[in-house]
Amino acid sequence: MEAVMERQREKPHVSEPRIDARERAMGLAKYTADWQVKDMLYARIFTSTVPHGFVKGIDSSEAAKTPGFVDIVSCLDDSTVWQAGEREHERRVFADHVRFVGDCIGAVTATTRIAARKAASLVGVQYEELPASFTIESTLGNSQLKIWDNGNFLGPLKFEYGDSEEEFSKSQVVLERHYSTSRLHNVPLEPAISIAWWDGDNLTVVAATQSVHGCRNGIAKDLGLEPEKVRVIGYYKGGGFGNKINSMNYDLIAAICSRRTGKPVMVEYSREDEFINVHGRWSTDQDLRMAADRAGKINAVEVKAKCDIGAYTRHIKRGHFIEGPEHYYSTEAWNAEIYGVYTNTPATGHMRAPPGPQSAFSVESMVDELAHELGIDPVDMRLKNFIRNPPSGRFTSNGFEECIIKGAEEFGWKQRWKRPEKQRNKSGIATGVGVAIGSWHSGLGHGEAIVSVDSSGTLEVNTGVVDIGTGAKTTMALIASGEVGIPYADTRVIWGDTETSPYSVGESGSRTTGFTGTAVREASRQLKADLLLIGEKLHGISSSKLEIKEGNLIRSGNGSVLSSVRELMQASGNGRITKSVTTEPTLKEGEERFVFAAHFAEVAVDLETGEVKLTDYLAYHDSGEIVNRLTAESQVQGGIVMGIGMALTEKLLISKTDGSIENPSLLLYRIPNMTQIPKIKVFFTDTVDPYGPKSLGEIPIIPVTAAIGNAIFNATGVRLRNLPFSREELLGELKDRK
C-alpha cells in the first residue's frame, strides 16, 4: 500500500455535468431519426425466411403494386461487399447465399415508411435450401454442412504460458468445472438507422455510428470511393455498446438505395430488425481446470472453450473469443484452446468488452469455488494471487491491490462475509455477499485535435468524437479547459462530422480518452504556451513566471491577475489562435497498460420462488486519473447495470428448428429496469499513470456476473454455472439438498 500512498494527486477532483446535458434533457438533441431531409424516401429491408440456402429468384410484382413503391434492390442486382461485416470471409450487403433466418436479401424504397414496410412484406423469394446447423454440436458433427466453404469454425486459438502439465500434476488441489454464457444483444435504445444522399459523386451519410471517421472509411472502401468523397455526420446517437462500430450494412444500404433513386433515403430498422440483423454477443461453453496449493496459491489455469459465433462474426482479433486469466492472476502456467464455431443463426460481434465478461464469469466463479474448497476468505484468495506485473514485463501503473483492499473496506466485507452455511436465512430469504475482480486493456494510439481560443476568450475544442453516451465531448472539453486554464463554462466543442473535425478513433474499445484525449491535451499545452508568451510581451514578465487560471493571466506566486485571456487575445491582434496536433503515444519495451477493478455484491434470494434481488453493490476501479468524476461514475454504474442483465435476465433464445431468434422484442428479451437496480457505490483509486488517464468504458461490465453468482452461492450454498442464472436450476438444487 505504501507505493499507492506515495503517489498523491496533484489536482482536485473534477465533477461537471455533461456539456450537452441541456440539449439532451430538453428533447433538442437531434438524433439520426430526427433529421427531416427534403424529398426523403424510406427503405425497408427484406430478409431470408430459411436458415441456409441460395436465393434462386425474387418476385417483386406484388410489392411493386403498393402505392408509394419506388424501387427494389436485391442480391440479384447488387453485389456490394460489406468488408467490415465479417472478418474472415466475404459478407455481402445483400446475401445471395443466405446463412440465417433474417439474413438481408434486399431492400424496398417507397415514399412513406408505411408503404416501404408493406411493399417489403410482399416480396417473394425462392430458395435452394442447404443443410443447416443451429448449435455448436451439430456444426462440429455434420460433415455435409458448409456454412463457409473453407470450414465451419475458427481456431483453435491457443495460448500457452509455463508448463501446465507439470503444475497440474504437482498441485495439491485441482478443480474441473463447466461454465456457459448465453447469446446476448447490445440493445441500444436507438435502433439501427442511416440516412444517405448523393450530390454527384459526393456521398453524405447521417449515421448512428460510434465513429464518424471509421464509418466514412468503411463506406468509401466498400463503394470504391475516395474517403474525401464521403462525408459522415453523427452528432447524437442512442447508444451502441459495440454494435454501431464504424460502417454498418444499413449505411451501405442507404447509400445504395439513394444512388438508385436519386433521392435521400432513410433506412430504419424496427426493434425486431435490430435484434435479428445487428450483431450481439456470442455464447460460450467453457471447460476450466484450476490447480492450487493448500495455502491458496493458484498455480495453473486451463481453459477450453467453444463459442457459438453465429453465421458471421465481426470480432476484431482472430478467434479471440475468450480472454485468459493472464491479466487477473499471476500463475505459474496457463493455457487456453478456443474455437469460434459458426452456426446458421444471427451474427455476433462487439458488445461492451467483447470477450471480457464471459471470461471473468468462469475464472472468477472458479476462484471462488477454489477459495471455498480451501476454506479461504474469497477476498484473501484474490489478494494472494492478483497480478502485480505481467509475465513479459511491467504495467505502466497498477491499482489492483488498492481496488481489492479498499473496496473490501468500504463494503464492510469482513463484517458481512461469513461461510455460506453461517449466512442468515430469515423468513425464507437468504442473504449473501460476493466478490469478483477484473482487468481490461487500456490502449494508446493515434489522436488528432484542433484546439483554439478566439478574441472573446472562448476555448474551442474540435475533435471527431461522436459521444455515443460516454461523455466524450465533455471529457475533451474538460481536458482542454483544465490544461489551458479557461473555465469549462467558456469552452465549446466541435464534433461528429468528418467535414469539420479531425480524425478520431471514436467510441469503441475504451479508446477515446487515451487516443483523442492525448491529442487534446497536447494541443492545449501548446495553446497555453502561446498565450503565456503573449503575456510575457504585454507585461514584460517572463512566461515562466506566468500562469493562466479561470480565464485570467496571473503572476505565479502571488496570484495577482494581470489580464484576462480576452485582453491577451485583443492585445495580440489575433482573431484566433489555433493549435492543430497529431499524437502517437507508444509504450516502452516491456510495458503493458491495464485498468483494474474489484466488485462487491449483496443478494437476497427468495428460497420459495428462486428470485434473486440485488440489495447492494460496490465497485472500486483503477482507471488512472479520472477526467470527470460525475460522468465516470455514470459509466461504471451503466456497465454494472448491463452486467446485472447478463446475470439475471438476458438471453437470446435461438430456435432449435430454424435458428431464428424467438424473442426479438423488448417484451421478451428483458433488460433491467429501475426496480432491479440497487444503489451502486463507485470509487476510484488515485492511481497516476505516466501516459495520462486510462480506459473506463468496458471494464465495469466484466466482474459483475461472477460477483452476483458468488453472492448467490454465499447466500444459498448453490453454485450456478450457467448464465443467465436460472430460478429453476436454483430451486432444483435447493430441493435436492433438503
Partner 1 sequence: MEAQTFELKFKLNGKEVNALVDTRETLLDVIRDTFGLTGAKKGCDEAACGACSVLFNGHAVCSCTMLAAEAHGGSIVTVEGLSVNGEPASLQKAFMESDALQCGFCTSGQIIAAASLLDNADRELDDNEIREGMSGNVCRCGAYNKILHAVSETSRKRKAK
Query: Which of positions 100-119 make contact with partner 1 (CB under 8 A)?
Result: 113-114
From the CB of 356, what's the least distance to partner 1, in Å? 16
> How far is residue 202's CA from residue 253's CA, in Å, rounded to a whole number?
16
Question: Mask of contacts with partner 1, 469-508, x by CB under 8 A?
Answer: xxx-------------------------------------
Does position 680 interact with partner 1 (CB under 8 A)? The reply is yes
For the bound state, the minimum distance from the C-beta of residue 580 to partner 1, rounded and expressed in Å, comes to: 29
Q: Which is nearer to partner 1, 119 or 527 (CB)?
A: 119
| 238 part of the interface to partner 1, by CB under 8 A | yes
What dihedral do alpha carbons 623, 624, 627, 631 form, nearest 10°? 20
CA distance 579 to 526: 7
The grid coordinates of residue 556 equal 505565479
634 binds partner 1 (CB under 8 A): yes
Q: Is 36 in the site for partner 1 (CB under 8 A)?
A: yes
Cβ atoms of residues 449 and 515 within 8 Å? no
**Shortest CA distance to 29 belongs to which of 244, 235, 241, 239?**
235
> Does 606 contact partner 1 by CB under 8 A?
no
CB 432 within 8 Å of CB 417: no
Q: Using the rule CB under 8 A, which residue among 504, 631, 660, 687 binds partner 1?
A: 631
Task: Work out which of 188, 218, 319, 407 binds partner 1, going by CB under 8 A.
Answer: 188
Per CB under 8 A, does 13 bind partner 1? no
Q: Please identify, among the stretches 327-335, 366-374, 577-585, 631-639, the one whose residues bind partner 1 according to the rule CB under 8 A.
A: 631-639
Q: Determine which residue in the list 207, 642, 715, 730 makes contact with partner 1, applying CB under 8 A.
A: 642
Of residues 4, 7, 21, 717, which one binds partner 1 by CB under 8 A?
Answer: 21
234 part of the interface to partner 1, by CB under 8 A = no
* Pair 659, 101: CB distance under 8 Å: yes
529 forms part of the interface with partner 1 (CB under 8 A)? no
- Decide: helix, strand or coil at residue 294: coil
Which residue number, 136 or 682, has a Cβ lying nearer to partner 1?
682
Minimum CB distance to partner 1 smaller for 189 or for 529: 189
Binding flag, residue 33, partner 1 (CB under 8 A):
yes
| Residue from 562, 607, 666, 734 binding partner 1 (CB under 8 A) | 666
Q: Is 63 in the site for partner 1 (CB under 8 A)?
A: no
Which of 9, 34, 126, 550 touches partner 1 by CB under 8 A? 34
Stretch that binds partner 1, among 30-38, 162-170, 308-316, 705-713 (CB under 8 A): 30-38
| 187 touches partner 1 (CB under 8 A) | yes
**Which candidate, 331, 326, 369, 344, places its Cα nearest to that of 276?**
344
- Cell match 442511416: residue? 194
Contact 104, 110 (CB under 8 A): no
Q: What is the DSSP letter of 501?
A: S
Binding of partner 1 by 242 (CB under 8 A): no
**In angstroms, what is the minimal distance from the CB of 409 to partner 1?**
21
Per-residue DSSP letters for 402-435? HHHHHHHHHHTHHHH---GGGS-EETTEEEEEEE
Return the residue of 141, 160, 176, 189 that touches partner 1, per CB under 8 A.
189
Q: How far is the CB of 608 from partner 1 (least distance, A)?
A: 21
Exposed / middle / buried, residue 65 (Cβ in 10 Å: 0-12, 13-18, 19+): exposed
Between CA 229 and CA 221 the distance in angstroms is: 11
Binding to partner 1 (CB under 8 A): which residues in 268-297?
270-271
Cα 282 to Cα 308: distance, rounded to the nearest angstrom: 6
Size of the site for partner 1 (CB under 8 A): 58
Q: How many CA atoms lie within 13 A of 488 on its CB side?
A: 17
Residue closer to partner 1 by CB (options 412, 678) is: 678
Q: For residues 565 and 672, give the distance between their C-alpha atoms in angstroms, rounded to a whole number.
A: 48
Nearest approach, Cβ of residue 239 and partner 1 (Å): 4
Q: Is 429 in the site for partner 1 (CB under 8 A)?
A: no
Residue recorded with cell 495553446: 527
Q: Nearest approach, Cβ of 666 to partner 1 (angstroms)?
A: 4
Q: Select the span of 387-395, 535-543, 590-598, 675-683 touching partner 1 (CB under 8 A).
A: 675-683
Nearer to partner 1, 319 or 638 (CB): 638
Length of the chain: 738
Give me the least distance between CB of 467 and partner 1, in Å please. Answer: 8
Q: Rounded distance, CA 496 to CA 231, Å?
A: 11
The yes or no reply on residue 190 touching partner 1 (CB under 8 A) is yes
Question: For partner 1, which stretch binds (CB under 8 A), given 51-59, 336-344, 380-388, 628-636?
Answer: 628-636
DSSP labels, 657-699: TT--BS--STTTS----GGG---EEEEE-----TTSS---SSG
Q: Cα(354)–Cα(345) distance, rounded to whole angstroms?
A: 18
Distance of CA 80 to the CA centre of its chain: 28
Q: Decide whether 152 or 663 has the Cβ nearer to partner 1.
A: 663
Find all residues with CB under 8 Å of 161, minimum gap 6, and list them: 326, 331, 333, 334, 335, 391
Residues in the site for partner 1, rule: CB under 8 A? 17-18, 20-31, 33-34, 36, 67, 113-114, 187-191, 236-239, 241, 270-271, 468-471, 630-631, 633-635, 637-642, 665-667, 671-675, 677, 679-680
